[in-house]
Structure 1
Amino acid sequence: MNAFALILLAFLAITFLQSGYDKIADWNGNVSWLKGHFSQTFLKNQVPFALLTVLALEIVAGVLAIMGIAENIMSGATIMGNYACVVSCVTLLMLLFGQRIAKDYDGARTIVIYLIPALIGVYWL
């Protein structure tokens, strides 16, 4: 059992499953806000599809993180945890891209705070 892996994967599971839940619980509110956020970009007509894509990746990342926790506790392996970190990085890069396109540089900076631990996980797991 690797305490670093367990803590990192718990962080990713909490982050992405809560974010996914929020998107599901307030789908219309999220779509409405994001349409305004991207209204001056080439993504303005792609908001529902983009949000669904991010939602799917967040759920996958969160589930993989939980699977990684279970795998690490049971066998000490980190394969699922590594997959969770990779999917998390892909998801965060998509979010970062969107924030940069929308010229929301503070939002982009915030995403980097989440990207750093995910990248460390890719490296160490």
Structure 2
Amino acid sequence: MDNILNYPTELLLLLFLIITFLQSALDKILDWKGNLSWLKSHFSKTPFKNMVPFLLGTVMVTEIVAGILCAIGLFLLIVQGDGSIALAGAILSCLALLMLLFGQRMAKDYDGARTIAIYFMPAIFLVFLLHS
């Protein structure tokens, strides 16, 4: 219980990333064809047009691993006060968001890129808190 009171911001940010990435990955798994179809259209005028299935799979795996690391990190931070796995999850979350940001910028979807930037702020703040 002490660790919940000692790390409330970190725990809440971890929950935010767990929800964000596990839900996003689950959506990609459950609606692979729909996501793939939309993304092929979205990236049709970019250098990524022939790599969409590979890139979608890469992002999905990254999101799954980031979400799982954040979940394990949440548990370990509560039980042991150890934030090392949480830090790894937060860093991988940032990398996943940077991949998504790069894709949105390549597709010239600046509104989508702005949305990714909004998600990046709490993720990088969590890296800062856990690394300090």
Q: Give the TM-score, by structure 2 length.
A: 0.93
Partner of 2:45: 40
Report how many residues are paired: 125
Distance 2:76 2:14 in 1: 11
Name the SS of the counterpart of 2:40 in structure 1.
Answer: helix
Match of 2:69 in 1: 64
Match of 2:56 in 1: 51
Give the CA deviation at 1:5: 1.3
Structure 1 residues without counterparts, runs of 5 or longer: none
- SS of aligned partner of 2:47: coil
Q: Measure the CA separation in 2 of the matches of 1:119 and 1:69.
A: 16
SS in 1 for 2:48: coil
Structure 2 residue 16 is matched with structure 1 residue 5:
no
Q: Does 1:107 align with 2:112?
A: yes
Q: Does 1:83 align with 2:91?
A: no
Amino acid at match of 1:120: F
Instruction: Indicate yes or no: 2:20 matched with 1:18.
Output: no
Provide, for residues 67-91 of structure 1, a one-character-per-residue CA deviation record: whole Å limited to 9, x for no partner: 0110011111111111111000100
Amino acid at match of 1:45: N
Counterpart-to-counterpart distance in 1, 2:89 and 2:120: 12
Distance 2:90 2:123 in 1: 5
Superposition RMSD on alpha carbons, in Å? 0.5
Structure 1 stretches of 4+ with a deviation exceeding 2 A read: none
Amino acid across the alignment from 1:70: F
Residue 87 of structure 2 aligns to a residue whose secondary structure is: helix
Equivalent position SS for 1:12 = helix
